[in-house]
Structure 1
């Protein structure tokens, strides 16, 4: 089949599953260029007209349904080689059966979520007069994003007012089908609800309620035996969810939920009130009229024989009971009534599950059943609310006579502790305070504040509040003052007066203003700034400026000044010169005035040449190679000392 193209459109790629009637393949639709699932009737059934009719009914029923929790049907067809197929949505995920096997019993919230989605799919089908008749975890897909999709309407059929399964043909999956399906009786929407109840049971306990050596023995258990209360298998199941399961799996169809809408409403309630007592059970004294088919299986004949023997035994018991009753009446007249009542008449009943419900409700339930109640203690609990039962003796499911005293332990609620005052403390130094108080650190958030970095600004819960032990305390912590960054304006070429205003209005501060002679730039014009224009600087940053003094007015020193000037001679080494020939420039800075005192072309081979300059008092000498500052020297012209 791999590589075959069906309907000149669907190329079979690989087998991905199979059921009792059909095989499922992954295929590619060449027309729409997408992957699809193709269900193909098994070859051994292609000559069986009854199976072909059933297969066609599947395609007709499923194609009429359109719901987010039902697998979409894209196309149906019949290949020339008697290959009957249905093209469906390819769902990425796994079956609910695989999901349960991997995880075991699911959490109540997850059970309710999945059950609601299945119920909504069934509601859509039932509204279209279609009964699925094969609801089981194998036919329920869980997508990768958690959505539930019901598939395989392989035995679904349109419902009429007289829908009865044909004699001898019991259709469905034996672990999940309803008693009426096992008997071959009248099937309606409530049959799907029974199967849904079994699916919920398996999600809650990790197993099906009935097992047997053969399919017929399992079918008989569906007819005769009540399901074991799921809380006896998994004590974590909430009361409300257990009640929903019990109601959905009633043997009598009239005692089950009337519609998917009703079970959806109870599932919603169970999510909000897990310990609630809102599920109502119908009581019917009379036996409802049922359609009983003729079942010809040998095993069911054995069951009829078993029933016949059982009735004979029952008749003998009735006769025996009548004799015993007469005997008891005689004893009552002779004064032995109270003794016999205690020994023979006191009924025995199952102890209900009481953990997780209020003490008052537990007391009412026990007294209704004829038991006595004793509160044996109260304990703190973070799991159970105050006033709710957290322990019982005997355990749920055990049998005791009426009048037995059931002992209950009641929750006092979580242990409360006082929250210390953490404000103005360092976040890194409070772990011991949390430990001593029985608390733990919660969410820590940071925000700008005038407080030092790491200091706690506020807390939640507040100081001195009473909270449950192990509560997380949330903190808001200072990360210091907020640093605002300012885009540095361009001040070069501006008048120094305007530059000062720009600095102040930009949120910056005026720093040192150095004045320097410049042959090309007018007086009071900014030559340079301490931070490059366009760069980001912190608010209130100090900005230094270099301002032009205009061209230097050079005057010839007088003879008297010449005589007062001293000469200083010092050698220069040209190791730092980058080229063989370069311009050597020496600038003298005295009293804030810069003067070029030497500018000549030099050769590296002239290294060690002594340069003589004149001046008075002290000055700074800057030495440039090709306009690159190499070094600065401090010269005292009076002493001739060079530093």
Structure 2
């Protein structure tokens, strides 16, 4: 792997390149080195020093680290370490070589239904794990990701499909950092109840995933809106395009799974990620065993067209082109 110039040490980690900087944190590509030639590439998300002195931001950052420490699933990006250096906390994350789905869709606006089905199953297994986590007393943690979107889905060169970025995830006993009636996440992937600022559970994540899969199939989302204001009202009121084109492209069985997950009222959707995964599994998956190779192929084509770059200056808020790390540095306010 080609590295940028050394940027010094952060705890045990040799910083190699700064990948992105946002309003709250910055991302680095780094190495953990040990004796006898041991070396592991990781990604480090470090809170910006000016914010590290503010308790609200520190608690947000620590909450993300604590949530990610509870995960242990092959379709969820892993947290490897957490520390504080010179007063700034940092989170060490799994590095996966590939491209995020947003970048893939920029190059390949619509993907084949068998590949979309496969991605959906991988992400549903990830959500089933996250939604089902319990504490030491057996009580549900009630984690909701709240930001299922293409930028937070990583496709690896070797065929991996992983969910990442739990920076705005919420658990039942997590202190809220969002004002009542306000929302966090990307508007066009939100469930109606999220736009309305109401209480959320895992069914909101299933709605967001269905929007993502719909977009991956058709090259556009389900809302025929041309402005942000129109989109806000369309999401709030569940005003979606007729399903004819979705049925034509995806087939009736796959379309029916997505349309149920896209129903406006949570009670009308699948109750759990596991239930939706079983419904999706029942859809005829042509050459299911080949789909990890298909993931690898589309990633290779994407990176051949737009190879990742490091340390390229970008305007504030613009996503890093080095999207393989998948942990977007946000400019959200708490």
TM-score by length of 2: 0.74
Match for residue 22 of structure 1 among 20, 25, 28 = 25
Residue 38 (1) aligns with residue 44 (2): yes
Structure 1 residue 20 displacement after superposition:
6.3
Which residue number in structure 1 is paired with residue 71 of structure 2? 65
Q: Which piece of structure 1 moves more, 195-204 or 167-176?
A: 167-176
- Whether contact under 8 Å (2:77, 2:93) holds in the other structure is yes
- Whether contact under 8 Å (1:118, 1:150) holds in the other structure is yes
1:290-305 → structure 2 map (5 Å cutoff): none
Structure 1 residue 240 displacement after superposition:
1.3
The 2-side partners of 1:126 and 1:96 are apart by 22
The 2-side partners of 1:116 and 1:198 are apart by 14
Structure 1 residue 59 displacement after superposition:
0.4
Once the two structures are superposed, residues 344-372 of structure 1 have per-residue CA deviations (whole angstroms, 9 ceiling, x without a partner) of xxxxxxxxxxxxxxxxxxxxxxxxxxxxx
**Going by fraction, where is strand more abundant, 1 or 2?**
1
Which residue number in structure 2 is paired with residue 289 of structure 1? none
Q: RCO (CA 8 Å, sep 6+): is it higher in 1 or 2?
A: 2
Structure 1 residue 269 displacement after superposition:
1.2
The 1-side partners of 2:194 and 2:146 are apart by 9
Residue 49 (1) aligns with residue 55 (2): yes
Residue 90 (1) aligns with residue 90 (2): no
1:102 to 1:264, Cα distance in 2 relative to 1, 3 A: same
- Whether contact under 8 Å (2:77, 2:162) holds in the other structure is yes
Match for residue 240 of structure 1 among 246, 250, 253 = 253
SS in 2 for 1:175: helix
The 2-side partners of 1:162 and 1:90 are apart by 29
Structure 1 residue 198 displacement after superposition:
0.9
- Whether contact under 8 Å (2:79, 2:94) holds in the other structure is yes
Q: How many residues align?
A: 270
Residue 110 (1) aligns with residue 115 (2): yes
The 1-side partners of 2:259 and 2:51 are apart by 38
Residue 213 (1) aligns with residue 227 (2): yes
Match for residue 185 of structure 1 among 195, 198, 209 = 198
Structure 1 residue 45 displacement after superposition:
3.8
1:44 to 1:185, Cα distance in 2 relative to 1, 3 A: farther
Once the two structures are superposed, residues 614-643 of structure 1 have per-residue CA deviations (whole angstroms, 9 ceiling, x without a partner) of xxxxxxxxxxxxxxxxxxxxxxxxxxxxxx
1:251-262 → structure 2 map (5 Å cutoff): 251-262=264-275
Which residue number in structure 2 is paired with residue 578 of structure 1? none
- Whether contact under 8 Å (2:125, 2:273) holds in the other structure is yes
Which residue number in structure 2 is paired with residue 76 of structure 1? 82
The 2-side partners of 1:162 and 1:19 are apart by 23
TM-score by length of 1: 0.40
Structure 1 residue 19 displacement after superposition:
6.1
Match for residue 7 of structure 2 among 3, 6, 17 = 3
The 2-side partners of 1:190 and 1:19 are apart by 30
Which of the two has higher C-alpha Rg?
1
- Whether contact under 8 Å (1:164, 1:187) holds in the other structure is no
Structure 2, gaps ≥5 residues long: 134-140, 287-334
SS in 2 for 1:71: coil
SS in 2 for 1:204: helix
The 1-side partners of 2:23 and 2:247 are apart by 32
Structure 1 residue 164 displacement after superposition:
11
**Going by fraction, where is helix more abundant, 1 or 2?**
2
- Whether contact under 8 Å (2:192, 2:238) holds in the other structure is no
- Whether contact under 8 Å (2:47, 2:61) holds in the other structure is yes
Structure 1 residue 42 displacement after superposition:
4.0
Once the two structures are superposed, residues 259-301 of structure 1 have per-residue CA deviations (whole angstroms, 9 ceiling, x without a partner) of 011111111111259xxxxxxxxxxxxxxxxxxxxxxxxxxxx
Structure 1 residue 242 displacement after superposition:
1.3
The 2-side partners of 1:20 and 1:247 are apart by 37
Structure 1, gaps ≥5 residues long: 274-643
The 2-side partners of 1:56 and 1:217 are apart by 36
